[in-house]
Amino acid sequence: MVSSLLALSLFLFVGAGLSVADTPVSCMYEDIRGKWVFYVGNGGYDNNINCSTMGYEVSKILFQYKLELKYPNIVIDEFNNEGTWTMIYDEGFEVTIHNRKFFAFSKFTGNMFNSTSFCNETFPGWSHDVFGRDWACYYGNKMAGDAAKSSESGELAGSQPVGERLYRSDPSMIEKINSDSSILWWAAPYEKFEKMTVNDMKSITGGHNTKKLRPPKLNKQPNTNDNNIPDLPDNWDWRNVSGVNYVTPVRNQAVCGSCYAFSSVGMCESRLAIATGNQVKVIFSPQDILDCSSYSQACDGGFPYLVAGKYAEDFGLVEEKCNPYQEFERETCDKVARQNCTKYYFTGYQYIGGYFGGCTEQLMREALVKHGPMSVAFQVYDDFVHYKGGIYHHTGLSNRFIPFEWSNHAVLLVGYGRDEKTKTNYWIIKNSWGEEWGEKGYFRIKRGTDECAVESLASQTFPIF
């Protein structure tokens, strides 16, 4: 019976017609917290096991594993072992307990416009020991909880016919931004955007399947770690630390929703350089992530936690020269070619604060100064695409011509500072839209107020060398 349930889950997963991140599923913290049973299949496999397609068959469930996900990120199993867990945005969750990891996406049916989330079930996911040697597939069922919840959306930018229209700047919006002295930044039209469709614009700002950032409201006490943070410098910029630049050049993702991949490789490149005293300078391949990662959705989005973190730990990153960027996803991963590439591994990945929902501005600054640039995400509104310089904050203005949809865009945090003239604290962030955009490919955004949720989804990882 359990095996047939797993087969049904596999069928539904493939039949949904979508990859696994970003997906239409929407599960909140309280949907996931509680008692679960994991149905774990035969082990002994390596990381070539594919738990996301019907190509992998479990002859029988090896065992059932009961555990409870508790507040805020504690997990206790039936044998009283204790571990940790975190949500991956609203799309799945990862458990680490007794030297073993379990990761799966929450189950759904439907599509981005009309879907049903089954937050008390998961799709088949991956389980392995912390050394990445013994792999198995599993799926999870919550022991109690609502069976399903539906969600519908209106016409998104990726739908017909709006998506095929050419994007059009709104001169009136730009003029209002530049003439308002209370706005701390200035705007400009970009010719390259005028040549893109609305679908293309949706892709560069996060991918067609991205959703509004909604960090869990855990009603937690102020993070006690904040009280132990050492004094930090007033300003910091990894592009110039005692005259040394640890940040790799700005790149251009083009019209693929691969911002998460560029954010991920940018973090890994800088942190490897920092850890080796700038002796190891590598440019990693975002294309490899698009082609080969089962933890993301290629040109339709993904999460740095699962790429710079889980993918880089489980499979390693390869250099750009091994798989140059093509601006589109290939149908299959060339595993033979990948096998001949040098792999660079990372570990210790985590959300800042230890779990999704635990992030604070102070903890972000500490991690940035101590360990290097990190991946962050924020809510993109239609005024942001016209940013040219200054300290960005959402103005509330919108494009009259094109109904631009908000999206969740991943970027690379490299520093912070304070503008003494306006008494405004800001973050310094590297984008992936080319050097001609913004402040030579970078932008500054208000710091300490969670502007556009930029202080909600920071994650980090650490190089192995």
Catalytic positions:
259, 409, 431
Distance, in Å, from the CA atom of 166 to the CA atom of 188, rounded to the nearest integer, reads: 18
What are the two backbone dihedrals, phi and then psi, of residue 221, each rounded to the nearest 5 degrees? -70, 160
Q: Report DSSP letters for 241-266, one per residue.
A: BTTB--SPPP-B-TTSB-HHHHHHHH
Instruction: Work out the number of other CB atoms within 10 angstroms of the CB of residue 438.
Output: 25
- Rg of the chain in Å (alpha carbons): 22
**Is the Cβ–Cβ distance between 398 and 169 less than 8 Å?**
no
- Tell me the C-alpha to C-alpha distance, in Å, between residue 150 and each of 14, 26, 119, 147: 20, 9, 11, 10
DSSP-assigned beta bridge partners for residue 448: none
Distance, in Å, from the CA atom of 53 to the CA atom of 15, rounded to the nearest integer, reads: 10
- Tell me the C-alpha to C-alpha distance, in Å, between residue 239 and each of 266, 356, 371, 392, 429: 13, 28, 14, 20, 11
**Is the Cβ–Cβ distance between 295 and 261 less than 8 Å?**
no
- b/e burial code for range 353-376 (CB count within 10 A of at least 16 → b): bbbbbbbbbbbbbbbbbebbbbbb
Instruction: Work out the number of other CB atoms within 10 angstroms of the CB of residue 381.
Output: 20
Residue 337: enclosing H or E segment and its boundaries? helix 335-339
